[in-house]
Amino acid sequence: MKRNYTAGIVLLVAAIALLSCNSPPPPPIVAPVVVTETLMPLTPAFLERLRGTTPYEEFARNVNMYQLLLFGRITLERDYAEQSHSVEGGRVRLVDEHIREIITINDQTPGVGTRIDYSMGNEITIHVSFDENIEHQLRFSAPRLDPTAFFILDYESDDRPLMSDERGILWYGGNEYKIRYGGERSPSLLIRLSQRDIDRINTRTAPGRRVN
């Protein structure tokens, strides 16, 4: 009887040892994922992070994947005339119409990048459309060698007398406009992103090795 009892204990210990050897390792401990939605200035350094190892030409073609936003409020203004005529009872009627066109692009208006140009010497240039017509674009540039620089709106100085808030001129949709914006800082680009902060702890127990 004692021998059978001892044999039973040995079998029980062996079964427990076998089960412990075959049990899977505990799953890794994963801390809660913190997701933060934010806007941040677009810089050459962040652009390079997005590009990674993608060739420049391929990355430039896919710039429309990223949601860009305008930082600052812009007003574009131009004056032009349209001439027309009509004939009534043999009499020609001339019409000269003087038009003032004003286009406002508000702060944080979403835009889509249409092209990135790396061929402008030490500048990186991004063309962005904020309008229904994709051909209506603004151009922003940043120094290529300054990783923390902002992409600033490009426009030309104007030798003609300017109003207090007029900054210069630019071409938009094939027409020349005067540009206005408030403050001392030129409008620039933001990019919308979500950032995940993950703390991961991998734990395991070494199974040991036995001599074959």
- Residue in the block written with tokens 């459309």: 129
pTM of the model: 0.71
Q: Residue 183: inside a domain, yes or no?
A: yes
DSSP letters for 149-192: ---EEP-B--SS---TTEEEEEEETTEEEEEE--SSSPPEEEEE
Q: Tens digits of per-residue pLDDT, 39-49?
A: 899 999 999 99
Q: Residue 146: inside a domain, yes or no?
A: yes
Percentage of the chain lying above the pLDDT 70 cut = 79
Q: Residue 85: inside a domain, yes or no?
A: yes
Q: Residue 207: inside a domain, yes or no?
A: no
Q: Tens digits of per-residue pLDDT, 137-164?
A: 999 999 989 999 999 999 998 776 666 6
| Structural domain harbouring 140 | 34-197
Helices (H), the chain: 2-22, 44-51, 56-61
**pLDDT band per the 50, 70, 90 thresholds, residue 27:** low
Q: Tens digits of per-residue pLDDT, 69-115?
A: 999 999 999 998 888 888 888 888 888 888 999 999 999 999 999 99
- Residue in the block written with tokens 């939605």: 37
- Residue in the block written with tokens 């508000």: 106
Task: Tally the domains of the chain.
Answer: 1
